[in-house]
Chain A
Amino acid sequence: MQAVAEPLHGHAHGEELSFWRKYVFSVDHKVIGRQYMSLALFMMLIGALTALLIRWQLAWPETPVPGFAWVPEPTMFAGVVPPEFYNALITMHGTIMVFFVAMPFLLGGFGNFLIPLMVGAEDMAFPRLNMMSFWTIFTASMILVASFFVPGGAAAAGWTGYAPLSADPQFTGVNWGINLWLIALALEFASFLMGGVNFLTTAINMRAPGLSLMRLPLMVWMQLTAAVLFMLSVGPLVGGAVMLLFDRTIGTAFFQPARGGDALLWQHLFWFFGHPEVYVVMLPGFGVLLEVFPVFTRRPIFGYKAIIYSTIGAGVLSFVVWAHHMFVSGIDPRLATPFSVTTILISVPFAIMVFSMVASFRGGSISYPAPMLFAVGALATFLIGGVTGIFLGSAAVDIYLHGTYFVVAHFHYTLFPAVLFGGFAGIYFWFPKMFGRMMNETLGKIHFWITVVGFNCVFIPLFLAGAAGNVRRVYNPMQYDFLKHLAPIHQFATIATVVLLIGQIPFVINFFWSLFAGQPATDNPWKANTLEWATASPPPHGNFEKVPTVYRDPYEYSLPGLAEDYLPQGVPAPAPRGV
């Protein structure tokens, strides 16, 4: 009857798989999830290096970056970043961080690892498709990294690839870099389309008996919504990427006004996807917070259903807000107003989610181990990002702020909390389930405090610089007299960037040390309710000994009259007090 992986798991229970089948070309969602996560962390390293070079250039323009004198010309000149390479850096930083860190980290990593466990399934619906999706994004990542080394260097038309800048090699001086960038993006989209089919089919069809939609852990809801948003928004950009590639290679003129095309069309296609994409990345980050808060406040999440309906509402609205990225692109003001309204409207469902999270703390017995610290940090920093978003949603204000560092600070305040604070919270939280060992608490706390202080010191100054009129996408802002007084602000932000990067060293040490020498974890070290904690740490191949049955909502903490302050979803009858 079923397409589900009949021979794949049939074998695996009995026989030992070879090294290659077990760790490299594995069809096990847990291995694939960890592969995605490793890829994301590796790409994060490259993304962080690009950030460092960008920040150095802004703080001490056209001076040698310490430690980069070895980079050959014409990429860098004895450690100095030339303008062409600066353009490539900002392009690749955006592309890497959004498409090759945030998505593989939160969706590929956590989504793959958690969805089957949380719905009580033995694997994804289509394990081989899952493996293919990982190797597709792996190929895409390698192509993207390789594009640094082709003649002309990496793509340099901005991560949004605005036409006609991106449509004709003569404008940027980059030919193969942008072609490879487009191919890498197309492969990345294909990878997550395969992933999306898997996520949706698994969460819709493979839930354990008793696990109705309104009993699903919120992480699964967030991953589901993210997958729907991605699959329904990326199509036009896939078409757009093909059109842009044709413009560059076979002489079509879709995006070149000089030959009858329309440059704004690219922006519409890009942002029709680009805005839902923001939520594709952000919702799974929220999902981590929503799993972590109930566990460490020992309280049910406040407004479970309100959060679900808000998520769906935000998802629907996210398809009609894209033009707020284009207020300064020359769109009709009559078009700008409705998009202003929808953009400000979309803050309502997010406000409901944030208030629900805050309300979940009320009356809880709150403890602050590393995952909880990162989750609270994510919520607090995200608030600043959310509130500044309302400024930018209003077309009149946006016209002043859009081209400045205010926007840079704003979107880093939304995506950094979701992807990195949320992602780190998730790693500290699920590490015991992933690897069967606990992470070190002290190193985790050091990591958190350096990260949260470092992050705020990088980006609060950028709000100020932006409000003072510091334009973005400019190689050397200090060449303008009216910006010269901002030099100390940029230098402060750059020093903070270095601190932020150094602050990740405790995490790296912690990760690898705990992997091999961490304290062994029990099945349910945090006393949590959802199904992933009902199996061994790490879960065996096939996940569960027998199909779990679900009896209740996912966040039943501190129920009165019980011996324990938690009641897992898969436990049939509550144990009375004193037994």
Chain B
Amino acid sequence: MSSVAIAEHPHADSREFTAQPLGKVGVWWFLASEIMVFGGLIGSYILSRIAAGGWVAERAHVNTRIAIINTIVLVTSSFTVVKAHAAAEADDRERTRWFMLATVLLGCTFLCIKGFEYSREIEHGFTPATSLFWSFYYTMTGLHGLHVLVGIIINFALFLAVGGGGWPRIKHRIEYAGLYWHFVDVVWIFLFPLLYLA
């Protein structure tokens, strides 16, 4: 249905000056601005930590073991979203569905583990108000968690949409959602060593 509508559209065929679809250009610019959001936070964290010193004692209370498990979960979800994209490119809608579902479930697993981690920390008295380290810890992982949540919602909506109409458009959107999901992953790859290992 959509391909017919676009063919009739007077402008559509001449609109790809960069040979990239509009959605992709838009998503890349969006991600560029997102890099700056996390970049500002990460930069502030690094500079504050260098200036203040003595944070190692604070850092000793984070649970690195849980974070390693969570890292593996999130990286695996990046793998499944790539598989979903590959399946979509091959027009295998059934496989696409299952890999999208796997991505959603892995995302939910990440959030559940993170929630468990938060509750353990708060139980032991480490709240955002405890110290500057914990302020950064909760703000950065919280903002990241929010991005994971948004990603889960988008991926879930696409999982539902794969079975319906408008497949060419859905195919593209799976790729864009994948770009976003990878970004969320990469942010975690920066947060994990900065907060848990350094």
Contacts and interface: CB of A to CB of B under 8 A. Distances in A.
Contact of A1 (B21, B128, B135): B21
Contacts of A208: 14
Contacts of A239: 37-38, 40-41, 44, 139, 143
A10 B23 CA distance: 19
Interface in B125-154: 127-129, 131-132, 135-136, 138-139, 143
A395 to B, nearest CB: 22
A1 B6 contact: yes
Most buried by B among A1, A4, A206: A1
Contact of B22 (A205, A250, A272): A205
Nearest to A542: B10
A197 B30 contact: yes
Contacts of B139: 239, 242-243, 246, 252, 254
A267 to B, nearest CB: 12
B11 A122 contact: yes
A34 interface: no
Contact of A201 (B25, B37, B172): B25
A480 to B, nearest CB: 37
B33 interface: yes
B29 A246 contact: no
Contacts of A265: 44, 47-48
A269 B44 contact: yes
A62 interface: no
Contacts of A196: 29, 33
B172 to A, nearest CB: 7
B129 A197 contact: no
A508 to B, nearest CB: 37
B22 A125 contact: yes
A322 to B, nearest CB: 12
Contacts of A206: 11, 15, 17, 22
A157 interface: no
Contact of A254 (B21, B23, B30, B135): B135
Nearest to A124: B22
B26 A7 contact: no
**Dominant secondary structure of chain B at its interface with chain A:** helix
A197 B30 CA distance: 6
Contacts of B163: none
Contact of B17 (A207, A237, A250, A253): A207
A380 to B, nearest CB: 36
Interface in B1-50: 2-3, 5-6, 8-12, 14-18, 20-23, 25-26, 29-30, 32-41, 43-44, 47-48
Interface stretch (A21-29, A228-236, A524-532): A228-236
Most buried by A among B16, B36, B168: B36
A231 B5 contact: no
A240 interface: yes
Contacts of B90: none
Contacts of A129: 26
A201 B132 contact: no
Interface string B161-184: 000000011001100000000000
A544 B55 CA distance: 62
Given A238-B40, A239-B38, A239-B41, A201 B129 contact: no
Contacts of B168: 1
B52 interface: yes
A59 to B, nearest CB: 41
Contacts of B40: 235-240, 269, 272
A481 interface: no
A332 interface: no
B51 interface: yes
A550 B23 CA distance: 25
B180 to A, nearest CB: 13
A190 to B, nearest CB: 10
A121 interface: yes
Contact of A252 (B5, B14, B16, B129): B129
Interface string B43-65: 11001100110000000000000
A250 B29 CA distance: 32
Contacts of B9: 4, 6, 9-10
Contacts of A254: 44, 48, 132, 135-136, 139
Nearest to A3: B23
B135 A253 contact: yes
Contact of A7 (B5, B32, B33): B5
A204 B20 CA distance: 10
A236 B30 contact: no
Contacts of A3: 21-23, 26, 169, 172-173
A337 to B, nearest CB: 20
Contacts of A9: 9
A198 B27 CA distance: 10
B29 A197 contact: yes
A523 interface: no
A231 B129 contact: no
Nearest to B1: A6
Most buried by A among B21, B33, B34, B173: B33
A40 interface: no
26 contacts: A2-B6, A2-B22, A4-B9, A4-B12, A9-B9, A126-B22, A193-B30, A193-B33, A204-B18, A205-B15, A205-B17, A207-B17, A231-B36, A232-B36, A235-B35, A236-B37, A239-B40, A239-B139, A242-B143, A243-B41, A243-B135, A250-B129, A252-B128, A260-B131, A261-B135, A547-B10
Interface of A: 1-4, 6-7, 9-10, 121-122, 125-126, 129, 193, 196-198, 200-201, 204-209, 231-240, 242-243, 246, 250-254, 259-262, 265, 269, 272, 542, 546-547
Closest 5 CB pairs of A and B: A236-B40, A235-B36, A251-B129, A252-B135, A3-B23
Interface of B: 2-3, 5-6, 8-12, 14-18, 20-23, 25-26, 29-30, 32-41, 43-44, 47-48, 51-52, 127-129, 131-132, 135-136, 138-139, 143, 168-169, 172-173
Given A201-B29, A252-B129, A260-B132, 10 more contacts: A4-B22, A121-B11, A125-B25, A126-B26, A231-B29, A232-B33, A235-B33, A235-B38, A240-B40, A252-B135
